[in-house]
Chain A
Amino acid sequence: MITRTSRRALLAGAAGAAAFALTLSACGGSSSGGSASGGSSQTSGVTITVALASDPPPKAALDEFTKETGIKVNWVNIDWDSLQTKISAAATAKTYFADATDVDWSRVGQLGKLGWFYPMETMVDTKTMASDMPQLTSFTKDGHVVGIPYDASFMVTTVNEKMFQKAGVTEMPKTIDDYTAALNKVKSAGVVKYPLNIPFAAAEGLSTYWYETTGAFGGTVLDGAGKPQFTTPDSAGYKAATWMVDAIKNGLVPPGNINVTDSQGSQTLMAKGQVASIFSDYSGGIGTLYNIKSASSVVDQVKYIPTPGVTGTAANLGNPDGIGIPKQAKYPQAAAKFIEWFTSAKKQEDFAGLNGQDKIFQGYALPSHLSVLQKMSESGTLPEGKSLVPMLQGSKPVFPEGAPAWYPQFSNAVYTNLHAAATGSMTVDAAIKTIADTANRLASGS
């Protein structure tokens, strides 16, 4: 009998089905999806499909692009998880689904190795872009640019200044120790019961939080060869994990957070004044969430602070959104033109609101061009721009050498084990050891 087949169950089944597609394609021994399907180089008079986990930019902007180039754009908005599944399914089945689509920074290693996307350096002038787009390095694997960052998302520390002040914290903390002390002060002063948000749900956001915290403790997660750098108790990653788990054990983090994801934490805790700070928050959150009256009860209270490090300000970790061209694209050249236009400094000025409200691209994080960000900051259109620009300039990729191809498995090990440590079903030491074992196993390719 057919059972009720709902969303996730279907995903599970797709697993097996994918294998069949490979049977059909694997005859030549190459199942890496290496060769392009030979899309048309035509650019004028064609319609390209752009699939991203976002609403479309203003219609006027897209119309203008069509007028300039003769290329029509069919914009498709699919949620991020579904989109990753769709990309895998389409690439595995070697089937067209879009001419340009999402390239997440964390998938760069995997996608680079799989060869599912066109190397962007052959399609657009990435060399010129690189100088004004610091995060382009996160999208480069083995010398190939898999996608172009169209916004500049990075991790920042957000603080509800009003709550901190109410608790008597007048000077914003500069080091992790100060920060922890300030949180304890907010708690003991009774401003909020649980001052800190850490999204301890076993999901990607927990991994990201740990990477950022590890950076703040002055270290990296993996070295260039993919070897874990967090195994000894004096390593940054180990300290970061201990700090996070202690925070929930000591009542700095709401107990319910063992099931809170990153976006839930921002929306239902920080934006509702339930917590006073998020150590690893998303840049742009003040402009797109905390200062939006309909979604927030803490308008004008939240500030970005320079990431507290061991002795002073630490670097921020970048996790930008990129866009690339799948090998099965029908009109790769037209898609390249679109990406060039979409990621240009001029368009980003429009999207970010420098040239008027009607040109704003709703939900757009931050421009990936440094120059645009600077302009925004100078013109005062960027909330807290003065603090953001230096952060972006100093932002570092989570993996300086690009995310490894096995990143998704690694991240899964990170968030399931840190989650388990937070619930108390496993010690931090055991969690760290399991994560390290996983990384070693994956890096050795067994």
Chain B
Amino acid sequence: MSRPGARAGNTGRGIGVALTLLWSVIPIYWAVKTSFQTDADARANPAQYVPLRPTLENYRTLLTADSDVPGQIRRAALNIVVECGAATVVTVLLATLAGYAFARMRFRGRNVLFYAVLATMAFPPYTTLIPLYRIMSLLGLVNTYTGIVLVYVSGFLPLATWVLHNYFSSLPESIEEAGLVDGAKRLQVLWHLLLPLARPGIISTALITFLFAWGQFLFPLVLSSDLSTQPLTVVIASLQGRHVVPASLLNAAGVLAIIVPAVLALAFNRYIVNGLLAGSTR
């Protein structure tokens, strides 16, 4: 379906694509570059556009140096994976059930409930920080994985429900009409017929939830008290606030925190794109 006589257009597009790629990557490249430099090289003026004397020293310091920082980084990396993973699983599970019900079932109060769920998206999600903090404190869940995961789930459920509702709505109705007799059967239909079809939607939702959770800062800052639950973002911020942290080391820490989201975005971009589109179309 390529259009004829488009050579000039192709060149133009090539330039455009190159510019697009540069625009997206340069700030990330700059941080990666800095993380492979000594602090002196990183501060050279004018700048070195590539690391002339590349070094792994910053990563060595961060990951293996004989001080508390490496231990903190490793523990915080574990925490962030556990918290984001658990929040993703719970969010997707609950949102799938509710998304299905909202999309494919009729019941009294459906619209009211559905709009109530959506309405919470209009609020900045963080407006509930301190009340949530109190509630978690009453439940004895401050500084626990459970507390952080519950708060993440409540924050990401509306979007997840909305995305999955849209997915279920887009599936043809004929699928379930055949086998619908009673409620129990309907669950089987959901499990055996609809879930496999909705799998792309579920994966999208899971990825988006995970990425959102990965970027959180203030909720975990307030809800976690120490290293037993602090995620990587909080620990990195504490590095940033330290009086003497060389820029090169700081950039290495930053790169550590973006590896996982960057790899996910590159590997599963199709799912993320679809999920974002489903979530932004209101």
Contacts and interface: CB of A to CB of B under 8 A. Distances in A.
In the complex, A touching B, CB below 8 Å? Answer: yes
A79 B241 contact: yes
Interface in A257-313: 263, 267-268, 272, 288-289, 292, 294-295, 297
A134 to B, nearest CB: 23
A98 B225 contact: yes
B158 A81 contact: no
Contacts of A49: 225-226
B134 A13 contact: no
B130 A14 contact: yes
A89 B222 CA distance: 7
A95 interface: yes
A67 interface: no
A21 B159 CA distance: 26
A446 interface: no
Interface in B233-273: 233-234, 237-244, 246-247
B124 to A, nearest CB: 5
A76 B227 contact: yes
A17 B130 contact: yes
B238 A93 contact: no
A416 B78 CA distance: 40
Contacts of B215: 4-6
A282 B95 CA distance: 53
B221 A86 contact: yes
Interface in A73-109: 74, 76-82, 85-86, 89-90, 92-98
A79 to B, nearest CB: 2
Interface residues of A, number: 56
A268 to B, nearest CB: 6
Contacts of B132: 17
Which of A5, A18, A94 gathers the greatest number of chain B CB atoms within 10 Å? A5
A97 B218 contact: no
B130 A97 contact: no
Contact of B218 (A14, A18, A79, A94): A14
A383 interface: no
A17 B238 contact: no
Interface in A1-26: 1-7, 9-14, 16-21, 24
A13 B155 contact: no
A79 B142 contact: no
Interface residues of B, number: 50
B99 interface: no
Contacts of B67: 55, 362
B30 to A, nearest CB: 16
A97 B240 contact: no
Given A53-B241, A79-B241, A93-B137, A20 B212 contact: no
Contact of B126 (A5, A20, A86, A95): A5
A81 B129 CA distance: 17
B133 A289 contact: no
Contact of B125 (A2, A294, A297): A2
B279 A1 contact: yes
A363 interface: yes
B125 A97 contact: no
Contacts of A82: 221, 234, 237-238, 241
Contacts of B212: 2, 4-5
Contacts of B121: 1-2
B108 to A, nearest CB: 28
Contacts of B127: 13, 16-17
B216 interface: yes
Contacts of A6: 215, 217
Interface in A96-150: 96-98
B160 to A, nearest CB: 9
Interface in B121-177: 121, 124-134, 137, 142, 155-156, 158-159
A92 B227 contact: no
Given A2-B125, A56-B68, A289-B244, A93 B39 contact: no
A239 to B, nearest CB: 30
Q: Which residue, of B126, B128, B155, B246, has the highest number of chain A Cβ atoms within 10 A?
A: B126
B280 interface: yes
B134 A24 contact: yes
B43 A97 contact: no
A292 B280 CA distance: 51
B219 interface: yes
Contact of A17 (B43, B129, B156, B243): B129
B53 interface: no
Contact of B43 (A11, A14, A80, A268): A268
Among A18, A19, A97, the one with the most B-chain Cβ atoms within 10 Å of its Cβ is A97
A80 B130 CA distance: 20
Given A76-B226, A79-B238, A93-B137, A2 B126 contact: no
B137 A80 contact: no
A14 B244 contact: no
Nearest to A4: B215
Given A1-B280, A74-B226, A268-B43, A85 B131 contact: no
Contact of B244 (A5, A13, A21, A288): A288
Contacts of A21: 130-131, 133-134
Interface of A: 1-7, 9-14, 16-21, 24, 49, 51, 53, 55-56, 74, 76-82, 85-86, 89-90, 92-98, 263, 267-268, 272, 288-289, 292, 294-295, 297, 362-363
Given A78-B221, A82-B237, A295-B244, 16 more contacts: A1-B282, A2-B156, A5-B216, A9-B124, A12-B124, A13-B127, A17-B132, A21-B131, A51-B226, A79-B238, A79-B240, A79-B241, A89-B129, A93-B134, A93-B137, A97-B225
Interface of B: 39-40, 43, 67-68, 72, 121, 124-134, 137, 142, 155-156, 158-159, 212, 215-219, 221-222, 225-227, 233-234, 237-244, 246-247, 279-280, 282
Counting from the closest, the 5 A-B pairs by CB-CB distance are: A79-B241, A13-B126, A10-B218, A7-B217, A17-B130
